[in-house]
Structure 1
Amino acid sequence: MTTIRIPVAGGMAIMADELGDPDAPTVILGHGGGQTRHSWDRAGHELAEAGYHVINYDLLGHGESDWEPEGDYSMERRASDLAEIVKCARGPFAFVGASLGGLSAMAAACHGVVPAALVLVDVVVRLSEAGVDRIVGFMSANPHGFASLEEAADAISAYYPDRKRPGSAEGLRKNLREGPDGRFYWHWDPRFLTGGRPGRSLEDMIATAQWPQTVPTLLVRGMKSDIVTDEGVDHLAERIARLEVADISGAGHMVAGDRNDLFNAAVIAFLGRVMPTRQPEVVCKQG
C-alpha cells in the first residue's frame, strides 16, 4: 500500500491509499460524511487481493485531505475532485461510495465522469429526512471536542448502541485530531455539513443524465438503517435501469463497519460480474 497525493482544483490536494496492480481495473472508494478513508481499510485490501487496483481516498474536508478555504463542499466540487482522482486509473473504473461518498459518485457521473460500475452503500437520491437529521445532530453535538478518546467512544456508543463497543478506544485516533488545546476533534471540516454553492439538486441532475440507463449499479443496503427507506429504494429503482439491491441483515447505515464480511462478499461478487479483473479467454472452435 502506498499513500499518494492527488492535486485537485484550487491548489488543494486529496490524500489516498493506493493498493493492487495499477494496470488492473480500478475501484475508487469514497467514505461517508464525517468518516475517513480508514473506514475502508479491510475492504480495500480484500478488493486488491481480488485483483483490483484500489484508490481509497479522504474526501475533501476530511482526514488528511485539504479543507476547502471557502467552505465549498457542493456536489459540483466533489464531482470535480473525482474527475481528478479517476486520472489514477489506467483502464475501466468503478465507484464504491458510502453515504456522502455515494452521492459524490452519482454527481460525478452526472458531470461526465461515468464509471463502468457503481456501488452505492446505504445511500439513495431521496434519503430519509429523519435519519439525516439524526446523523447531523450527532455530528454537530460536540463543537468543543472531547477531553479524551474514551469520551468520544462514549458519544458514539450513545448514538449507536447496537454496535459492540471495542475494548480499546485507540482505534478512534484515525477519525480524530488532537487540537492545540489537547482536546480531540472529529477529523473533518465542520463547514462540510452546511457548505456548498447553490446548484442543481442531485435529483435534478439524474433526471437529465444518461448514465442511469447504462451503468450497472449495486445498492448495498443495511437493513437496520434509518437513512434508506423502501420508498427511497423504489425511487432509485425507477431511475436506474440496471439497479441491483443487496440487503445486508444486521447492518445499519455503516454497512461495511457492521457486517464487513457480507459487504465485501456482495461487492466483490458484483464487480466480478460487471467489471472483471481479467477478460475471459476466447476459445476458438475448429472445424
Structure 2
Amino acid sequence: MRMESSPSNRTSFNTADGLSLAVDVRHPSGEPTLLFAHGFGQTRGAWNAAAATLAARGCRCVSFDSRGHGESARVPNGDYHMQPFVDDLLALAHAQPQPPMLVGASMGGLLGLVAAGEVRPSPFRALVLVDITPRWETAGVERILAFMQAHPDGFASYAEAAEQIAAYLPQRRERKSEQQLRPLLREGADGRLRWHWDPALLAGELISECERYQPRLFEAAAKVEVPVLLLSGERSDVVSQSTVEEFLALVPHARHAEVPGATHMLAGDANDAFTAAIAGFIGSLEPAFRPRGEGEATCHEVLKCP
C-alpha cells in the first residue's frame, strides 16, 4: 500500500521570552502526537520525509525550527544559552493536546533528556533519541562544528553550496537542488548566500555549555521513566559502541537499534529504515496505531535490533 504524502500546516509559536518559532503541523487531528526536535545547525526540514510518512499513517506530527535556526527568530543580542532551548521544548510539549512522543536528533535529543529527566510529570509519552547519548565522541562533534564554521563569507551560488554539502556528506548519492537548499540559506545584502543559522550560535558560550551540561545530562538520563528508543547510525562518529553501552547501563529500560550504513545524519541517510523503526516503536506502545502497509518492513527486518 502506497502512503500518500501529508501536507503541513505552517504556524508559529511564541516563546516565554518573546521569540517566534516556525512550526509545521501535519495531520492535526491525528494521534499519537510526535514532536520532532532537530540537531544543532539543522532545521525542521530535516524531518520532512519521516513526518509526512508517519502523518499519513495517522500520527499528529509537529516539527519546529529552534531559536536561531531556520525561519525562527534569532536572539536579539546573540546571547544563546542551553536553558532557553530546554524551556522552548517544554513549552511546545505542554502546548500539545496530549503528551507527545519526542523524536530528538543530536542537540534535540539532549534537550529532551534534560526535560524528561527533570520534569514531573514527564512532558513526553516516550523518547526517541536519534544518534545521541549523554557522552559523545568529541571528534565527531568537532567535524560538525568545523563544517558550520568553514564558510563565514557564504557562497556565490546554490551550486557552490551544494558542492560543499556533497563533500561533507559523501555517503549521499544525490546533490541537493536549489529548491532543497533555499530553506537552508539566506541571501545577504551583498548577494552572498549564508547558512540559515545565527552566527552567534557559534561565537558565544553555547558550545562550551554543552560540555558543562554532561553531568546534568547523566543525572537526568538516570531519572527518565518513560519508554526510550535509541537509534544510532552504524557509521556514526558521534555515537559509538562504548557510549551506547554506557547509556543502556544508565537507562536499563531503553531499547537500542542501529541503522545499517547510516552516519550521524541518520534520517537523511536512511529515512525508510529510520521511519520504520519509529513506527515499530509507536506500535509497541500504542495498540491502536494503524498496522503497517503491505510490503513495509518492520524495525527488526531492517535494523540491527537486540
Q: Same fold (TM over 0.5)?
A: yes
1:221-265 C-alpha deviation (Å, 9 max, x unpaired): 111111111111112112112211111111111111011000000
The counterpart of 1:267, out of the listed 270, 278, 282, is 278
| RMSD of aligned Cα (Å) | 2.2
Instruction: Give the match's secondary structure for 2:17.
Output: helix
Partner in structure 1 of residue 192 of structure 2: 183
Q: Is the 8 A contact 2:67 2:85 kept in 1?
A: yes
Change (3 A) 1:196 1:273: farther
Partner in structure 2 of residue 193 of structure 1: 202
Give 1:130's aligned amino acid: A
Mapping of residues 1-287 of structure 1, within 5 Å: 1-22=8-29, 24-112=31-119, 114-166=123-175, 168-196=177-205, 201-209=212-220, 212-276=223-287
Query: Cα offset for 1:115?
Result: 1.2
Instruction: Give the match's secondary structure for 1:268.
Output: helix
Q: Is the 8 A contact 2:93 2:99 kept in 1?
A: no
Q: Is the 8 A contact 1:117 1:275 kept in 2?
A: no
Give 2:82's aligned amino acid: M
Change (3 A) 1:194 1:86: same
Change (3 A) 1:278 1:130: closer
Change (3 A) 1:10 1:218: same
Change (3 A) 1:93 1:167: closer
Instruction: Give the match's secondary structure for 1:247.
Output: strand
- Structure 1 stretches of 4+ with a deviation exceeding 6 A read none
Change (3 A) 1:73 1:241: farther
- Can you give the 5+ residue segments of structure 1 that lack an aligned partner in the other structure? 280-287
Give 1:121's aligned amino acid: V
Change (3 A) 1:30 1:128: same
Q: Is the 8 A contact 2:113 2:221 kept in 1?
A: no
Distance in 1 separating the partners of 2:268 and 2:133: 19
Distance in 2 separating the partners of 1:272 and 1:194: 42
Change (3 A) 1:158 1:210: closer
TM-score normalised by the chain length of structure 2: 0.84
Instruction: Give the match's secondary structure for 2:112.
Output: helix
Distance in 2 separating the partners of 1:34 and 1:274: 31
Q: Is the 8 A contact 1:7 1:84 kept in 2?
A: no
Partner in structure 1 of residue 302 of structure 2: none
Instruction: Give the match's secondary structure for 2:262.
Output: coil
Q: Is the 8 A contact 2:147 2:168 kept in 1?
A: yes
Query: Identity rate of aligned residues, in percent?
Result: 39
Query: Cα offset for 1:206?
Result: 3.8
Query: Cα offset for 1:276?
Result: 5.0
Distance in 2 separating the partners of 1:162 and 1:116: 34
Q: Which moved more, 1:167-176 or 1:83-92?
A: 167-176
Give 1:38's aligned amino acid: G
Change (3 A) 1:167 1:56: closer
Distance in 1 separating the partners of 2:32 and 2:14: 22
Distance in 2 separating the partners of 1:100 and 1:68: 18
TM-score normalised by the chain length of structure 1: 0.90
Give 2:45's aligned amino acid: H
Greater RCO (Cα-Cα under 8 Å, separation 6 or more): 1
- Can you give the 5+ residue segments of structure 2 that lack an aligned partner in the other structure? 1-7, 291-306
